[in-house]
Amino acid sequence: MQPVREDQQQALVSRLMTACGGSYSPETRRKYYISGPQWAAAYQGQALFHAPTRPAIGFEEIIRKYGELGIGYWTTHDTDVIPTEALGKEEQCAIVGRIQKALQENGVQCSMVTTETFYHAVWAASPAAEAPAVREYAKFRVRNTVEVGHDLGAQFAVYWPGSLGYYVQGAVEETETLRWYADALNAACDRDIEVAKQKSRPTLKHCLEAKPFEPQAEILLPTSDAMLAFIASGLLTHPEMVGLNPEYLHELMWGAAPRAALARALVAGKLFHFDINDGYRLKHDVDIAVGLVNPLDWLNVLVLLRSHGYQGPFNLDYKPPRTTSQFGVFEVSFPTAVDRFITLWEMAGEVISDPIVKEATDALKAGGAPLNNDPRDVDGIVRANRELLTLHELIAHRLVQILLGLHRGRSFSIA
């Protein structure tokens, strides 16, 4: 192949995208509760060792693109759209007005707002720092986000305490810091109750998001399970308003089975919101788009969520790769992420209604016919169930068949 001229590259990408097939219409995409974060589309490819590879892009353009693609919901940090210095001031009202207009014009809704408590220098010692002025500022920030959330019609507020921790131990007294962190959440919930009343709106669902490491070396609330314990610790004045926003990769990062972590949130009634992406175990937060690394695990996750009637959002918290151009972010990255998700969701429905999976599961739950009625007969119990247990592997095989279309067979190159 000849080298491809610069002015022909976008056409090549678009032609190959069309050739890939398997994409859904914007109308179909809008039927799913899928949200696109401001920060994901605006990510310029920068990192500690990486310079940006894409130009800056503002919320008006991102909301317009999401609308065109059929991503029906938009999420944002306060400072993704409002400069830190303008927060809570006149300028904030003008920006919120522009966001409302952009959302309305493009048929997109704001589902979630979140407070940036990790980037600015003020958070160097976390939002629950020793200095009372920092903690008062943190309360102002989360209260202000709640107000912005109500103005934009959001249902969820998310908190990622990634800076709540340390690099070296000794200075921070963990129990005190956790109490101070709870004070900020309590301030957010109290303000929410007031604003919801004034506006005759329901209160927001407040969701804690855990990540086991990064940016702090050690995090005080590193996993969704730690957060469940924190919610139930007695430190929160409104624990019923607070739940979880697990992130798929954040659970994988510490070595968990994400599906099991989600199950623990479900049984606690705390699975409010879900950040979707992909990546690798025990590595940093690579934020790869959903289904590109672990599609089988993803299918399993969605089977669990579908069978439990999870109704919350699926927030595309990933980073389009540095190699993807600005054009590619909206031509390839977002539509393919959404479409893989939808396909996996529909496959999860197929798994749930699959007659083989169903009969195998029912048989496992029925158990083997008892050889006698003696509960002490351990050998008898083993024998009565031995052949049935093969169904565990058969079900796993069936899931792979459904995922890869293997049940439709192959044609062979060897006669």
Q: Which residues are part of the catalytic machinery?
A: 77, 80
- Report what 147 binds from Mg ion, ligand 3MF, none; CB cut-off 5-8 Å by kind: none
Nearer CB in complex with Mg ion: 225/275: 275
| Contact track, Mg ion, 264-283, x by CB under 5 A | -----------x--------
Among positions 111-170, residues that touch ligand 3MF (CB under 6 A) are 114, 158, 160, 162
Nearer CB in complex with Mg ion: 155/245: 245
Nearer CB in complex with ligand 3MF: 111/114: 114
Q: Are 306 and 357 in contact (CB under 8 A)?
A: no
Q: Are 345 and 144 in contact (CB under 8 A)?
A: no
Among 80, 317, 339, 354, binds ligand 3MF (CB under 6 A): 317
- Report what 158 binds from Mg ion, ligand 3MF, none; CB cut-off 5-8 Å by kind: ligand 3MF
CA distance linking residue 17 with residue 393, whole number of Å:
36
CA distance linking residue 224 with residue 231, whole number of Å:
10
Nearer CB in complex with ligand 3MF: 77/259: 77
Selection from 225, 235, 232 nearest residue 176 by Cα: 235
**Nearest-approach distance from CB 217 to ligand 3MF, in angstroms:** 15
Instruction: Tell me the two tokens of residue 187.
Output: 């301030």
**Nearest-approach distance from CB 246 to Mg ion, in angstroms:** 9
**Nearest-approach distance from CB 296 to ligand 3MF, in angstroms:** 23
Q: Are 278 and 298 in contact (CB under 8 A)?
A: yes
Q: Is 73 in the site for ligand 3MF (CB under 6 A)?
A: no
Helix 132-152 vs helix 174-199: angle between axes, to the nearest 10 degrees? Answer: 30
Q: Is 287 in the site for Mg ion (CB under 5 A)?
A: yes
Among positions 236-255, residues that touch ligand 3MF (CB under 6 A) are 247
- Report what 135 binds from Mg ion, ligand 3MF, none; CB cut-off 5-8 Å by kind: none
Specify the long-range contacts of residues 211-214, CB closer than 8 Å, at least 24 apart: 211/160, 211/162, 211/247, 211/250, 211/253, 211/285, 212/250, 212/253, 212/254, 213/253, 213/254, 213/284, 214/162, 214/284, 214/285
- Report what 114 binds from ligand 3MF, Mg ion, none; CB cut-off 5-8 Å by kind: ligand 3MF
Among 151, 209, 278, 354, binds ligand 3MF (CB under 6 A): 209
Q: What angle do CA 308, 314, 319 make, to 5 degrees?
A: 145
Selection from 39, 125, 35 nearest residue 79 by Cα: 39
**Nearest-approach distance from CB 164 to ligand 3MF, in angstroms:** 12
Count interface residues toward ligand 3MF (CB under 6 A).
Answer: 12
**Nearest-approach distance from CB 17 to ligand 3MF, in angstroms:** 27
**Nearest-approach distance from CB 158 to ligand 3MF, in angstroms:** 4
> What's the Rg (C-alpha) of the chain?
24
Q: Are 223 and 255 in contact (CB under 8 A)?
A: no
CA distance linking residue 27 with residue 6, whole number of Å:
33
SS3 235: coil
Q: Is 288 in the site for ligand 3MF (CB under 6 A)?
A: no
**Nearest-approach distance from CB 311 to ligand 3MF, in angstroms:** 20
Among 225, 285, 331, 339, binds Mg ion (CB under 5 A): 285
Q: Is 80 in the site for ligand 3MF (CB under 6 A)?
A: no
Q: Give residue number: closest CB to ligand 3MF.
A: 114
Selection from 248, 284, 282 nearest residue 265 by Cα: 248
Nearer CB in complex with ligand 3MF: 162/243: 162
Nearer CB in complex with ligand 3MF: 251/317: 317
Which stretch, 28-36, 224-232, 309-317, 339-347, contacts Mg ion (CB under 5 A)?
309-317
Instruction: Tell me the two tokens of residue 181.
Output: 């962190």
* 222 CB-contact burial (10 Å; exposed 0-12 / middle 13-18 / buried 19+): buried
b/e burial code for range 97-111 (CB count within 10 A of at least 16 → b): eebeebbeebebebb
Nearer CB in complex with ligand 3MF: 214/297: 214
**Nearest-approach distance from CB 379 to ligand 3MF, in angstroms:** 51
Positions of E strands within 154-289: 156-159, 165-166, 205-208, 218-219, 242-244, 274-275
Interface contacts to ligand 3MF, rule CB under 6 A: 39, 77, 114, 158, 160, 162, 209, 211, 247, 275, 285, 317
Interface contacts to Mg ion, rule CB under 5 A: 247, 275, 285, 287, 317
